[in-house]
Every structure is written in C-alpha cells, then in structure tokens.
Structure 1
Amino acid sequence: MWLMPLLGTRHWLIALGCFGLFMLLSVFTFRDDWAALDQAVSTWVTENVSPFVVTLMETLTVMGSSEFTIPVSFAIAVGLLWRKRWQHAVFLLVLTFGGMAVSFLLKFLFQRERPGEMSVVEAFGQSFEIASYSFPSGHTVRGTLLFLFVIYMCYHFMSKNGWKAGVIVVSSALIAVVASSRVVVGAHFPSDILAGVAISIVWFYVCLWLLRFILKQVRVRA
C-alpha cells in the first residue's frame, strides 16, 4: 500500500493494536460490561492508597491539565520555531489541540458519568456549563500526547545515548503517573485511562503520518 512507507511496520502494528484496544474498551464501556470491574478497582485504590500517595498524585495529575500542557506546548513550539524547525512546531500544535478535540468529541459520544458526582468542564480557573464526562480521560490524553512528543524529539534529535535513554524513561514514567493519578484522585475509572493512552498513541501516529506525508509532498514539488 502507498500509505505504508510513511510509517514503519512496527509503528503501524502499535497504532492498529492501540486502536483495537480502544475499540474494545469502547464496546465494553458502551454496553456497561466492565462497570463492576471498574468500580471494584476504583474502590480498592480508594481504600488502600495512603493519604500521602493521594496528595502526591493530586500534585502530579496537574501535568495532564490544560493549564500545564497548553503553555508547555506553546513554549516548546516557540523554541522549535526559533530553531527553524517549523514542521515539528506545527506537528506539536496539531498533536496537542487536535488531541484535545478528539478527546472532547469522544467524551460527548459516550457520555459516561464520572465516579462520584458529575462535574463541569474547567480550564484556567474558569468553569463552563458543559458536562465533564469520563471516557476517555482528558488529562491522560493531554499528558500522554505531550510526553510522546518529548520522546519522539528526544529519540530523533538527542545524540548522547545516556541522556536519550534517561529522558525516554522519565517521559514514559510520567505518562503512567499522570494516567494512574486520575484513578487515585477519584476522577476516572481504570478503563477511562487505558482508553486515553490508547487513543493518544493512535492520534500521535495519525499526526506523524500526516507530517511525513506533507513533507514528502513538499519535497516532490520542490
């Protein structure tokens, strides 16, 4: 297929696997088949995690918030533009805001209620009279996309293997921390965060494919 060369076979397998996982989670969530398991895991976490861990996770979960990811994304984009890497700056901004749009649309498609009381959308200290649904986790999507981009840039542009490995490990750990924090603080069910990570990886590869497709077209026409 003419699409294939723009991404390696391994990348296609990861993207398709994550899409399959998201679809599976979507079906079970839509049919409410996993409600009992989700509730049981959430209850166990609430009852067994120490207050110190909860407080720590309440701090770390901010790394998936709009207040954190949007300014950081803009700052990185400005730095990339200053380095004349416009294609990666555009990639990041499309990845970030497109991912937020995808998450928002999916939430309204499934309209799954959060654990506990229903809440409204909040951003930058403002509350909007829009229901904040649970599936998939928006914090998880935003945090995962940001740190996936960091991993991508580090993997391709850092020359020292030791630093590269360190950044990749830390970024991967932060994805896991932000995702799991949403369950610990009682904001989401486990299936919400799994779906958030899965759809984020799919969206990352969609954007990467688009970036490479556009760059290829530019080179062809040059």
Structure 2
Amino acid sequence: MNYKQLCITSFSLSIMLVIFVQFGYFHTMDSFIYEWTKSMSNSTTDTMWRIFTLVGETEVLAILSLVIIIFLIWQRKWKESFLFLFLMGIGVVLTFCLKVLFQRDRPGGIKYIDFWGFGQEIISYSFPSGHAVKSLLLLGFIIWLFHHTGNPNKLKPLIYFLLVFAIAMCGIGQVFLHEHFLSDSIGGFIIGVSILFFSFWMYSLWEDRRVRSSLKSNHREKKEIAN
C-alpha cells in the first residue's frame, strides 16, 4: 500500500475542508442537520448515541490506549507500541492546536476539557471533533495491527466492518448529541486518516531503512568471511 500517496491525498483534503469550514461553506448544511437531529432527539436515542461515542471519551480512550500498550509490550511488539504512541500523540496535540487556532463555537454551547478533573478551565472548541479523530486513530490502528500481525481468519471481514462501524458511529453520534456540527466530524475523520497514513508512511520508511541496513551488514560480514 502506498501510504505516501494516501497521506498526501488525505492531507490535501484536510486543507480544503479547513478552508471551506472557515469560509462558512458548510453553514447551511450544518444548520439543517443540527435542526433535523434536534427534532429527532429524545432520552432513548441520546442514551444510544452516548454508548456509541464512549470510545471517543477522553477517560475511556486513555484506558483503552493503556491496554493496547500493555498488550503490545507483553507481545514484545516494541515497534508497534512506538507507532501507536506516535500516532496517538500527534492526534491529541494536533486536535487541540486546531481547536485553539480556529475556535469554532459548538452547537450546544460552551464545553470545557475534563480529563479526570483536570483542564476544566480550558474551552473545548468544536472543530475538529476530537471523538472522530481519536476514535479513528485508535480503532484504525487496531485494524492495521490485526491486518499485519493477525493470523488468517474467516472472521476478519466481520471484525473490520465492526471496527469501521464503531468509528463512524462515534463521529455521527456527536452530531446527534449536538456536541458537534456534521462538518466537525467529517473534518475529524479526514484529519484522523491523514495522521494515520502519515504515521504508517513514516513507519514503512523506517522499516525499509532498517531492512536495507541489515542486508548491507550481512553482505559485509559475508565478504569478510570470504576474504
């Protein structure tokens, strides 16, 4: 898979989307979707959507990330654990920076960051949706890990479908809960994909360099033995 090309394409789409959002091109669509979801809102649907968006909650995300890291270290997958920390770190920092940079108001009023009681004085702006970005990164990494290190399994397509479904529902759920506009979630998904492909691209470059270095080392050793 050409991660470089995918990274450039998704990054270009991210820039275009940011520009469109800043100039208000999605205002009509966002307003229409907001009013439509508001008319459909009730306690039952709100509870359902909150369940779907749990994976994007900061505390749940932190716990799941810790479980993944422990699992990778237990399996001695050092490179994969570093990759996971790398992409999640970029996702958290970039999402926060973009929120502060654009300061787009949320549809449901002002929200504050709350990480187990910390950061409650910091406003959490609307664009991009942190739930969309971080759920895509975490579950996208699991898809990548399962694809590259998992054994052949007939259930793989079903597992991939469920993970992609969970990602989509996390972003869509934020719209139905009036936490974000639709363009916030779309932007979060595209930015998340960009980070994911960039991380995989860097990882593949590092792997290629490591393999070439190993081959050169083996070649030199053979020459020395032959001489």
SS at match of 2:122: strand
Structure 1 residue 12 displacement after superposition: 4.3
Structure 1 residue 41 displacement after superposition: 0.7
Residue 23, structure 1, aligned to residue 18, structure 2: no
Residue 151, structure 1, aligned to residue 116, structure 2: no
User: What is the aligned length?
Assistant: 214
Alignment RMSD, CA only? 1.7
Structure 1 residue 192 displacement after superposition: 0.3
Matches within 5 A, 1:158-197: 158-197=150-189
Listed one character per residue, the Cα deviations across residues 93-149 of structure 1 (whole Å, up to 9, x for unaligned) are: 111122111111111121111102112211124342111111100111111101101
Change (3 A) 1:53 1:162: farther
- Runs of 5+ consecutive residues of structure 2 not aligned to the other structure: 215-227
Residue 79, structure 1, aligned to residue 71, structure 2: yes
CA distance in 2, matches of 1:100, 1:51: 31
CA distance in 1, matches of 2:59, 2:18: 28
Q: Which runs of 4+ in 1 moved over 6 A?
A: none
Change (3 A) 1:215 1:12: closer
CA distance in 2, matches of 1:155, 1:220: 24
Contact 1:158 1:164 in 2 (8 A): no
Identical aligned pairs, as a percentage? 27
Using the TM superposition, name which of 159-168 and 63-72 deviates more. 159-168
CA distance in 2, matches of 1:60, 1:182: 9
TM-score if structure 2 supplies the norm length?
0.87
Structure 1 residue 50 displacement after superposition: 4.7
- Runs of 5+ consecutive residues of structure 1 not aligned to the other structure: 1-7
Listed one character per residue, the Cα deviations across residues 67-118 of structure 1 (whole Å, up to 9, x for unaligned) are: 1112211211121111111000011111112211111111112111110211
CA distance in 1, matches of 2:30, 2:22: 13
Equivalent position of 1:140 in the other structure: 132
More strand as a share of residues: 1
Listed one character per residue, the Cα deviations across residues 174-219 of structure 1 (whole Å, up to 9, x for unaligned) are: 0001010100111000000000000101100111111122233333
